[in-house]
Amino acid sequence: MNIQMIDKNNILDLYKVFADEELKFLDMNQDRIKFFSGLLSGLIGGTVLGLFKSNLWYHFALMGLGPILIIVVCRIAKNSTFRLYQRFLESITVRAKLEQIMGLTERPEELNMNENPYWCDEPFVATRHLDSRRKFKTSKEWLQAQFNRGYNLWINKFFIGGQILGVIMLVIIGILTYLTYGHTCS
């Protein structure tokens, strides 16, 4: 595509679209995290409460479904939030490319130095963003590097922790069932 043929107003409109899209995907990701966190809280609370109310062997067996659901929900949540995070990062890459076209990644040449502007030797885009982008040859490489960092890293750890909790709960339920009713089954 020939960039000279693109009107500056169209570039600005595209920039606004992708800046809005970036925020939209981040908001959707946060909403999805809240949803799955609430669902997991209900499953964990319900399972623990059910264990205290269980008095027959099959009650314990049914309580084993809680940890299995926790493990499954955490797996779905990890995949679901990753996809939105991926779209968020893709929006950043498009916005970054448009910033280059618009000249926002270069030092502004036309500033009147007599006015003593702040940071006149820096581009409009934050230098930390530019530094993080310059380390990579392609946007694909940048995307791959971001998947297991920052925000997404902690989301993954949270849901992996939920899966580990589900396994621990399943083992505890199995042990409690065996200790309480194991001798009656043999």
In a domain, 113, yes or no: no
Question: In terms of C-beta density within 10 A (0-12 exposed, 13-18 middle, 19 or more buried), how is residue 119 classed?
Answer: exposed
Query: What integer pLDDT is reported at residue 181 of this predicted model?
Result: 75
CA distance 84 to 35: 14
Q: Which residues lie closer than 8 Å to 18 by C-beta, 6 or more apart?
A: 91, 94, 95, 98
In a domain, 174, yes or no: yes
CA distance 45 to 58: 19
How confident is the model over 125-130, as a mean pLDDT? 74
Summary mean pLDDT of the chain: 84
- Is pLDDT above 90 for 72? yes
How confident is the model over 136-158, as a mean pLDDT? 86
Per the structure, the complete domain to which residue 153 belongs is given by 3-106+119-185
In a domain, 111, yes or no: no
Q: Which residues lie closer than 8 Å to 152 by C-beta, 6 or more apart?
A: 81, 82, 85, 146
Max Cα separation, the chain? 92
Query: What integer pLDDT is reported at residue 174 of this predicted model?
Result: 87
In a domain, 173, yes or no: yes
Question: In terms of C-beta density within 10 A (0-12 exposed, 13-18 middle, 19 or more buried), how is residue 128 classed?
Answer: exposed
In a domain, 142, yes or no: yes
| Residue 111, SS3 per DSSP | coil
Q: Which residues lie closer than 8 Å to 124 by C-beta, 6 or more apart?
A: 99, 104, 105, 108
- Is pLDDT above 70 for 5? no
Find the range with the poorest average confidence among 42-56, 59-73, 170-184: 170-184
Band of the pLDDT at 55, cuts 50, 70, 90?
Answer: confident
The DSSP 8-state label assigned to residue 115 in this structure reads G
Number of domains in the chain: 1
In a domain, 171, yes or no: yes
In a domain, 93, yes or no: yes
- Is pLDDT above 80 for 16? yes
Query: What integer pLDDT is reported at residue 118 of this predicted model?
Result: 62
Band of the pLDDT at 121, cuts 50, 70, 90?
Answer: low
pLDDT tens digits, one per residue of 96-118: 888 888 887 777 666 555 565 66
The DSSP 8-state label assigned to residue 146 in this structure reads H
Query: What integer pLDDT is reported at residue 115 of this predicted model?
Result: 62
Percent of the chain residues topping a pLDDT of 90: 37
Where is mean pLDDT largest: 8-12, 50-54, 92-96, 158-162? Answer: 158-162
This prediction has a pTM of 0.77
In a domain, 138, yes or no: yes
